[in-house]
Amino acid sequence: MLMEEYTEMNNEQCRNSNEEIKVGIAQIAPVWLNRERTLDKIIKYTKLAGDDGCQLVVFGEGLLPGYPFWIELTNGALFNSKVQKDIHAHYMDQGVQIEAGHLRDLCRTAAQKEIAVYLGCIERAVDRGGHSLFCSLVYIDPQGTIQSIHRKLMPTYEERLTWAPGDGHGLRVHQLDPFTVGGLNCWENWMPLARAALYAQGEDIHVAVWPGGIHNTADITQFIAREARSYVVSASGLMRKSDFPAEIPHLDKILANSSVFLANGGSCIAGPDGEWVVKPCIEEERMIVATISHQRIRAERQNFDPAGHYARPDVLRLSLNRERQNMLSILESSEFDKNG
């Protein structure tokens, strides 16, 4: 496509698009480490968001099938522990294999409701042997198609005992009416270069997903919004002592050290001036809904645009490697195939 055609097409899209969209955050608890029951709950809230007119709904980090809370509660660093092996094996059994169609029903729901979805899940990646887990952020478009799977670049602290480090393949943005949306998992949001990679692709809604905790979202949500001059949608999960199902291995050991709230939410939305659109919400399951305007982004970019007129690419530039990391590269020999 010629540059002139590309520019004209983008101009036409801008002229025809609405200024506003409605976004939803589903601040919910999983049915912990139960993929099917948690997915049923996610689909229910996706339908609720769609029925409320939302064009985007966001769920917390690792919600499907749940965050690895057991590690810090059961001496997770103890090497060769039967307790750790048993719980990890159960975690793996409940992980999400996208190739196996585990998100198919959610994709159908997104298409039926014409709503985009950002979902935090624990991916059991087939392309890495099928026995390692990644904390992944999946984007499903309003047509029900999975457009990106971002594997968390660096698991934080005890997470490294159960999650593998990801790669840059999913560091992508997506067009949603007049907005360009991208996202990061939890403490990736503290990584300046990861944020910059999304800013440079035109991001103006930044989705930050968290396992839950106002201590995570209270400060950084507003900080990123001011830095990016973008909306920041911080989506957190909840986790209560009552959310542990009876079938979890070694549940007695987990509950012995659990508090009433292991994750208290903290979901919120900040505007491109850094002020609250929705203040942090804690200790309740609910759908948080707000209408946001693209005009506010353009207004705030007048004096600062981190990837535009306030960038100095002649002095500072960032390189992004989007190659999906794999230990095996297979080169087939067509000559061998023909001659056997």
Query: What residues act catalytically?
Result: 61, 152, 186
Helices and strands in the chain: count of H runs, count of E runs = 10, 13
- CA gap 110, 126 in Å, rounded: 24
Look up residue 8 and give its two tokens. 């004209």
In contact, 214 and 282? CB cutoff 8 Å: yes
CA 115 to chain centre: 16
Can you tell me whether residue 288 is helix, strand or coil? strand
Residue with tokens 């968390």: 152
Q: Give the integer Cα–Cα distance in Å for 54 and 137.
A: 19
Can you spell out the DSSP letters for 119-188?
EEEEEE-GGGTSS-EEEEEEEE-TTS-EEEEEEPSS--GGGGGT-----STT---EEETTEEEEEEEGGG
Cα-Cα-Cα-Cα dihedral of 42, 287, 283, 88, to 10°? 20
User: In angstroms, rounded to a whole number, what is the distance separating the alpha carbons of residues 137 and 147?
Assistant: 11
| Distance, CA of 151 to CA of 170 (rounded, Å) | 7
Q: Hey, what amino acid is at 9?
A: M
Tokens of 28: 């919910």
